[in-house]
Structure 1
Amino acid sequence: MTSHVLSIETRALAVGQWANLVMAVAGVSAAMLSRSDALLVDGLYSGVNFVSALIAARVARAVRRPADSRYPFGYDAYESLYVSFRALVLIGILVFALFASGEKILTYLSGGVVPALILGPILLYTVAMVVICGGLAWQFDRAWRRSGRCSDLLRTESRAAVVDGVLSAGAGAALLLTPLLIGTPAEGLVPIADALIVLVLQSVMLPQPLAMLRAALREVTGGAAEPESVTIARGHADEALRGRPFTLLDVAVIKSGRTHFVVLYVKPLSPVVGETLDQLREALTVAYASRGAAVRCEVVATASVPFWSAQPPAVAESMSG
């Protein structure tokens, strides 16, 4: 990754970090003034974004380090661990909100008193947060594109800003519209409208951190990269092997953070020296680098196909289970 790309990433993360601190303080303050659990969830979500931005800045510095004796395959997995951590915290906040909303609904159904909402702070907060989140999402997405679309940190931050903006807009609009229910058959829902809105937002927002967690855990555990990445890697491998004394047996591709690791399994057609394998690895590295992605390559000379290719599907499935 070039210094230009790193500077783009660093600047974008710094802006997002302090913007999320402002939103977290505003969210918690607005929740206290308006008595809204939905705004409290929104503020806590922004608080997680702030803390995550602090961690993301450290992760961005860590993944720049070259491989060494402590981490012979580099520090790229830190990025996947960061995404996993962030997803788990977001899931935790949403689960907390679920229980808080359920408690408010049970209190109301059992005849307890639920404090009425104060709408003034909700309106001001909603407008401000939508503007800030929209600006952050645009900034992170722009930085991600300028960086060659290779930074999982920027992509994660962009998605989080979109989620935060949608959460703010949905919660605020729904809360502001609840007075319209007065005088209608749904008037009985007004005292718990805040809790019901939180439950609706839960069902909409929870799949996003779950998907983030699933993808990050797949990277951390060494799962194969997406089929599209494997197809691209195989195409470059065929190109690099053209005119060389090798038969391509298989290509293994895994993704760790922003970096793809490609292992080429080849069968020499005649005795070869180490320099020949080094030249092939260098040709592969140049070919992958031309796409702008961070890639590390290795070439393994062998007479047989890799073990996962040789196993029948049933055997491979039983071992993975």
Structure 2
Amino acid sequence: MPATAAQNLKTERKALVIGKWANLFMAVAGLLTAWVSRSDAMLVDGLYSAVNFISAIAAARIGARVGLPPTRSRPWGYDFDEVLYVTFRSLILIGVLVFAAFVSISKIWTFFSGGVVPELVFGPIAVYAVVIVSICLGLAFNFHRAYRKTGKRSAILKTEARAALIDGALSVGSGAALLSLPYLEDTVLGPFVPIGDAVIVLVLILAIIWQPLSTFRTTLADLAGVSAPSSTYAKVARAARDLAREKGYRLHRAAVLQAGRMHWVAVYLDPEKPVRAEDIDTFRDILSARLEDVIGPARVEIVLTASDYTNPVQE
């Protein structure tokens, strides 16, 4: 493994280890605070941190495998593991938010149907909110710094940085809103204070659920084999075209897929003259090195063909 790649992996692992233990602390604190304060909002916050803790364990293992060479059992390597991780993590987060919505709606239904709703205890909420927000901001900064330090190519670090910010936003929003509920006692909204935290949870869910949904949509496109963004494709096509011109080859087209931080590139080429296998290997290696500088890590395959019948149908 090159020195730079090894250093990037070390930086990523260090950030994930810090995030793992921080999220375990926040999960325990959130669930304990939810039990003491009887707040659904605190329960959601604790569950979110618990998901982040479990995800950090999986992320560390997956990050160590991304970029490894193919094996007999994994002939195409381990690159898509990163995409699978982000996809399923998004699904789990969506599931947590849906569960939280169900719990909150149930509490509101109980209230309006004449049932008893437990009274909130506000003391532990204030302490929890201050501590957790500070931790989340620190985690988001640490993940983002590691993301930038590793060349902005790790989907895992990018996802974890966003998750830390969301967790912090949850804590800020829920904590501030819950602590403001006692001031509504003498207002027209006073009778509805017992379900205030349930309403707050629903508002927070509507505000943040777009993020895991957006991530899920993006990674699902990667898994489905959708072409990489047009800007990435243009850079690959330009690099392949320039190198083909230098070598005197004819370039038919290029195909580009993205799998997390790794790109898969197929170049359809007609040498238009006798070539040796090592010439094609040299072309591949030079192109890989050039793409490393413009789009990041890439696995390049060269397909020799005399015709351009492989051109895709435009939709």
Q: TM-score, normalised by structure 1?
A: 0.93
Matched length:
312
Name the structure 1 match of 2:178.
175
Name the structure 2 match of 1:209.
212
Q: 1:144 to 1:312 in 2, by over 3 A?
A: closer
Contact 2:12 2:146 in 1 (8 A): yes
Name the structure 2 match of 1:103.
106
Name the structure 2 match of 1:270.
273
Q: CA deviation at 1:218?
A: 1.6
Name the structure 1 match of 2:191.
188
Deviations 1:6-35 (A, max 9, x none): 110111110000000000000000001111
Residue 245 of structure 1 pairs with residue 275 of structure 2 = no
Whichever residue aligns with residue 72 of structure 1, its letter is P
Mapped to 1, the partners of 2:121 and 2:314 lie a distance apart of 64
Question: Match for 1:220 among 209, 219, 223?
Answer: 223
Name the structure 2 match of 1:127.
130
Compute the RMSD of aligned alpha carbons.
1.5
Of all paired residues, the percent bearing the same amino acid is 46
Q: CA deviation at 1:67?
A: 1.2
Whichever residue aligns with residue 57 of structure 1, its letter is A
Mapped to 1, the partners of 2:314 and 2:42 lie a distance apart of 54
Of stretches 34-43 and 186-195 in structure 1, the one that deviates more from structure 2 is: 186-195
Mapped to 2, the partners of 1:125 and 1:134 lie a distance apart of 14
Question: Match for 1:200 among 196, 203, 212?
Answer: 203
List runs of 5+ in structure 1 lacking aligned partners: 314-321
Residue 113 of structure 1 pairs with residue 126 of structure 2 = no
Residue 233 of structure 1 pairs with residue 233 of structure 2 = no
Question: Match for 2:72 among 49, 69, 74?
Answer: 69
Whichever residue aligns with residue 268 of structure 1, its letter is P
Contact 1:250 1:306 in 2 (8 A): no
Q: CA deviation at 1:268?
A: 2.6
Of stretches 167-176 and 264-273 in structure 1, the one that deviates more from structure 2 is: 264-273
Q: CA deviation at 1:2?
A: 1.6
Contact 2:232 2:295 in 1 (8 A): no
Mapped to 2, the partners of 1:118 and 1:188 lie a distance apart of 17
Mapped to 1, the partners of 2:295 and 2:236 lie a distance apart of 13
Q: TM-score, normalised by structure 2?
A: 0.95
Name the structure 2 match of 1:13.
16
Whichever residue aligns with residue 236 of structure 1, its letter is A
The equivalences for 1:17-96 within 5 A come to 17-96=20-99
Whichever residue aligns with residue 287 of structure 2, its letter is L
Residue 165 of structure 1 pairs with residue 149 of structure 2 = no
Whichever residue aligns with residue 252 of structure 1, its letter is A
Mapped to 2, the partners of 1:308 and 1:300 lie a distance apart of 13
Mapped to 2, the partners of 1:306 and 1:178 lie a distance apart of 67
Name the structure 1 match of 2:142.
139
Q: CA deviation at 1:221?
A: 2.3
Mapped to 1, the partners of 2:314 and 2:91 lie a distance apart of 36
List runs of 5+ in structure 2 lacking aligned partners: none
Mapped to 2, the partners of 1:257 and 1:225 lie a distance apart of 11
Deviations 1:88-143 (A, max 9, x none): 11111111111100100001101112111111111000011100000000000000
Mapped to 2, the partners of 1:178 and 1:283 lie a distance apart of 64
Name the structure 2 match of 1:148.
151
Deviations 1:63-105 (A, max 9, x none): 2432122222210111111111111111111111111001000
Mapped to 2, the partners of 1:12 and 1:296 lie a distance apart of 26
Whichever residue aligns with residue 68 of structure 2, its letter is R
Mapped to 2, the partners of 1:71 and 1:184 lie a distance apart of 64
